[in-house]
Amino acid sequence: MKSLRRELFAMLLLTSAASVVGGCLAIKTEHEIKPIHITMDVNLKVQKELEDFLNLD
């Protein structure tokens, strides 16, 4: 009975020590947000209408 009690106490002690050590560890992550540049060509409709107009003459 005493050996079982000692084993349980030893397990409890080891678990507590592991929790304390694990709680002290920290992981730092760094995030970088970069701007996104988007260029859209919206002149296609105007260009088509202009070509259609000039082709009629």
pLDDT at residue 23, rounded to an integer:
67
Q: What is the pLDDT, as a whole number, of residue 54? A: 87
Which amino acid is located at 28 in the chain?
K
User: So what's the pLDDT on residue 1?
Assistant: 67
Q: Return the higher-pLDDT residue of 15 and 20.
A: 15
- Across the chain, mean pLDDT equals 80
Q: Which residue type is seen at 11?
A: M
Give me 18's structure tokens. 């592991």
What is the per-residue pLDDT across 19-42, written as a single tens digit (0 to 9) for each? 776 666 677 888 888 998 888 766
Residue 49 CB-density burial (10 A; 0-12 exposed, 13-18 middle, 19+ buried) = exposed
